[in-house]
Amino acid sequence: MTSKIPRAYTLTQRRFVEEFLQGNQPVIVTGEATRWPAHGKWSPEYLVDRFGERDVLVYNSLFSLTDMTTLSDYVKRNFNKPDQKTHEYIRWYSRLSDLEIPWSDSVFDELSKDWQHPSFLPSSSYLLPFCTAPEHVSAAENFFPYRGLFISARSARTRLHRDPLGSQAILWQVYGEKDVTFYHPKHDRLLRDGREFFDPISPDANKFPRHADATPVFRDTLEPGEILFIPDGWFHDVTCLSDSISVTWNFVCDARAEPFLECLENEAGGGELDAVRFFLAGMIDRGISASEIARVVRRHLASRAAHA
């Protein structure tokens, strides 16, 4: 039976860590981001007025790059279209590799005063980005893996997937609405064939013959001002019900390190390893393998525990 995602108006950090992070359960926090200046301020018109001539990258529902254009051009061609059919959207990331592409670093710098690191989310003891107490990081001010502005026309979709390398994620819905569907991690063998995922909208019964045995656990509509926590391993499918602006970022907390380390030890990750190397720069060698990264990180975790 499919249920609504659990909601909390406020959430203490302790409850979040114990019940949702360590419990590996999704949750929507409803009462925090509505107090930030961005709420009601970050409209398409506002972003276009400030950043319309910046270059942005456009992706499709399978996360493949399809175009590079300006923010103004994408919004002009795709927003406020009642018959919109495109599944393409802007994924405007802050830097996560040495590649020279249109990163959104300067945009996040200019917008940093409009929002905050969520109070329920730990600000220290991360593996990605690497941060040891008493040091602190903030998603509003520091690099996080896959921190990005998602600017999406109505009907834009990210097809069923799970986030890379056993990481967790936050999705803050700023403008518009999104339909979110979650499948449990235990259905991995039913929903994934290598790097290809089952598509609930266009089922392929030949490739996924037992897909009917995997029913969604949660389905809900994410409203403006709500913050969604996406636990590691959960399969999720997201469709914009209206023109949309979101901020998202991934991370790996010490409290939920094992799925990340298991991915590395199994040599999983592919292209995502470049991001891991970027965020662990100075701690690992540039050419180090996934399993070697895991050994280094385990040593650091053991050292942290010994000095705690």
pLDDT digits (tens, 9 = 90+) for 26-35: 999 999 999 9
CB within 8 Å of 250: residues ≥ 6 apart = 128, 144, 145, 146, 147, 163, 164, 167, 168, 169
Instruction: Check whether 231 has a pLDDT greater than 80.
Output: yes
Q: Both tokens of residue 227? A: 């913050």
Going by pLDDT thresholds of 50, 70 and 90, the confidence category of residue 267 is: confident
Q: Identify the residue whose tokens are 């965020």.
A: 279
Under 8 Å between Cβ of 158 and 63: yes
Q: For the chain, give the mean pLDDT.
A: 94
Q: Is the pLDDT of residue 308 over 70?
A: no
pLDDT at 134: 86
Residue type present at position 76: K
- Residue spans per domain, the chain: 7-254
* Angle between helix 290-307 and helix 258-265 axes, rounded to 10 deg: 150
Predicted confidence band at 133 (pLDDT cuts at 50, 70, 90)?
Answer: confident
- 3-class secondary structure per residue, the chain: CCECCCEECCCCHHHHHHHHHCCCCCEEECCCHHHCCCCCCCCHHHHHHHHCCCEEEEECCCCCEEEEEEHHHHHHHHCCCCCCCCCCEEEEECCCCCCCCCCCHHHHHHHHHHCCCCCCCCCCCEEECCECCCCCCCCCCCCCCCCEEEEECCCCEEEEECCHHHCEEEEEEEECCEEEEEECHHHHHHHEECCEECCCCCCCCCCCCCHHHCCCCEEEEECCCCEEEECCCCEEEEEECCCEEEEEEEEEEHHHCHHHHHHHHCCCCHHHHHHHHHHCECCECCCCCHHHHHHHHHHHHHHHHHHC
CB 78 within 8 A of CB 153: yes
Which residues have CB under 8 Å from 184's CB, separation 6+? Answer: 214, 217, 234, 235
Q: What would the pLDDT profile of 44-70 be if each residue is shown by its tens digit?
A: 999 999 999 999 999 999 899 999 999
- Say which residues have a Cβ less than 8 Å from residue 134's Cβ, sequence separation at least 6: 124
Instruction: With beta carbons less than 8 A apart as the criterion, state whether 68 and 86 touch.
Output: no
Tell me the residue type at 104: S
Q: What is the pLDDT of residue 138?
A: 97
Q: What's the pLDDT at 195?
A: 84
- The third-level CATH classification (topology) of the domain covering 7-254 is Jelly Rolls (2.60.120)
Mean pLDDT of 177-184: 98
Q: How far apart are CA 302 and CA 308, in angstroms?
A: 10
